Amino acid sequence: MHLGQFPHTRLRRTRASAWSRAMVAETRAHPSDLIWPLFVTDGSNVEQPIATMPGVCRHSIDRLPDLARRAADLGIPCLALFPNTPADRRTPGGEEALNPDNLICRGMRAIKDSGVAIGLLADVALDPYTSHGHDGLLHEDGRILNDATVAILAGQALNQARAGADIIAPSDMMDGRIAAIRAALEADGHHDVQIMAYAAKYASGFYGPFRDAVGAAGYLKGDKKTYQMDPANAEEALREVAMDIAEGADSVMVKPGLPYLDIVARVKAEFRVPVFAYQVSGEYAMVEAAVAAGMMERDRVILETLTAFKRAGAAGVLTYHAPRLAELLA
């Protein structure tokens, strides 16, 4: 029998005990790998459950400092804020995105003023603010106006940076928006504000509960397939990432998460930049539904999925399970 074959090589030897499995583990996760998305709404002392995302709530701004403290105490380094914009502030042009007192700007200022040492990520896109639910401006024939949208996105990014955003995260998938946002940030003196580009964001069926959470579900007219990526394409994702890096992105994101681990791995191998993945609302909802039905153990499954993201090369993960994951990892 040749060396390297059974019984000389028994791969189960290193799996036989917990201490040995820990010693040879190739992939490790830590609370610092997590970004916690939070939904912000109007009101006072509001904790409003989201029916399609069990365990997740919309929070009023006065609750955000305490949530930020909880995250920091758990070792979570960053929060991502998303608004549930009231209907009367949604317009075809999404002007509320430029309002320095919109929900996100007020929320970020509240957290910064509280003194909690935590990073803040601000989403850049118009869909939370438009009456038609699209990420950009619409021509009268229904086409997305890419270049006109980019100009507004740059203004939105400046608005958020002035309110305290540490990371600007454009999720709109317009061509050229990273260069425009980087130029605007530099010209306004925000040299240290990062850009995390949603570089490979797919036109996915996994976003439904998120649209409920931000109140956009009833507004969207048509679909987003002319600007979000075709799930069939991988090479195109590499082109998108290359463009965003060349235009000034500090890190990139793949969205959704688990169905696109191959994209995470390819982007990491090709570009060697920080790659983040968004474990989106539909992924979260599927886990929670299975747990509620007694089909899966939540803690085991969410740890396994986080490990899968890290194994694929993700520097970090945006996930609604972040607080529980941080508790488990601690």
Backbone phi, psi, residue 93, to 5°:
-95, -5
Query: Cα(291)–Cα(120) distance, rounded to whole angstroms?
Result: 30
Total Cβ atoms within 10 A of residue 88: 7
Per-residue pLDDT, 220: 85
Domain 27-329 is classified in which CATH homologous superfamily? Aldolase class I (3.20.20.70)
Burial 289-316 (b: 16+ CB within 10 A, else e): eebeeeebebeeebbebbebbbebbbbb
The domain locations on the chain are: 27-329
- For tokens 């681990």, what's the residue? 261
Angle at the Cα of 287 from the Cα atoms of 286 and 293, rounded to 5 degrees: 90
Per-residue pLDDT, 327: 98
Per-residue pLDDT, 4: 65
Per-residue pLDDT, 6: 81
310 a catalytic residue:
no
Per-residue pLDDT, 1: 47
Among 224, 255, 268, 310, the active-site one is: 255
| Ordered per-residue pLDDT tens for the chain, 330 residues | 455 688 888 889 899 999 899 999 999 999 999 999 999 999 999 999 999 999 999 999 999 999 999 999 999 999 999 999 999 999 999 999 999 999 999 999 999 999 999 999 999 999 999 999 999 999 999 899 999 999 999 999 999 999 999 999 999 999 999 999 999 999 999 999 999 999 999 999 999 888 888 877 778 878 999 999 999 999 999 999 999 999 999 999 999 999 999 999 999 999 999 999 999 999 999 999 999 999 999 999 999 999 999 999 999 999 999 999 999 999
Backbone phi, psi, residue 236, to 5°:
-60, -35
Give how far Cα 213 sits from Cα of 1, 40, 266, Å.
61, 9, 31
- 3-class SS string, 104-137: HHHHHHHHHHHCCCCEEEEEECCCCCECCCCCCC
Among 201, 224, 268, 310, the active-site one is: 201
Kindly tell me the sign of the dihedral angle through the C-alpha atoms of 228, 233, 236, 241: positive
Cβ neighbours of residue 295 closer than 8 Å, sequence gap 6 or more: none
Crossing angle for the helix pair 281-292 and 298-312, to the nearest 10 degrees: 150
255 a catalytic residue:
yes
In terms of Cβ atoms closer than 10 Å to its own Cβ (0-12, 13-18, 19+), residue 269 is exposed
**Has 240 been labeled as part of a binding site?**
yes
Among residues 69, 159, 140, the alpha carbon closest in space to that of 110 is found at 69
DSSP sequence for 255-303: ESSGGGHHHHHHHHHHH-S-EEEE--HHHHHHHHHHHHTTSS-HHHHHH
Per-residue pLDDT, 2: 59
Chain centre distance of CA 143: 26
Is-contact 160 81, C-beta < 8 A? no
Is-contact 81 60, C-beta < 8 A? no
Query: Cα(164)–Cα(278) distance, rounded to whole angstroms?
Result: 22
Is-contact 286 239, C-beta < 8 A? no
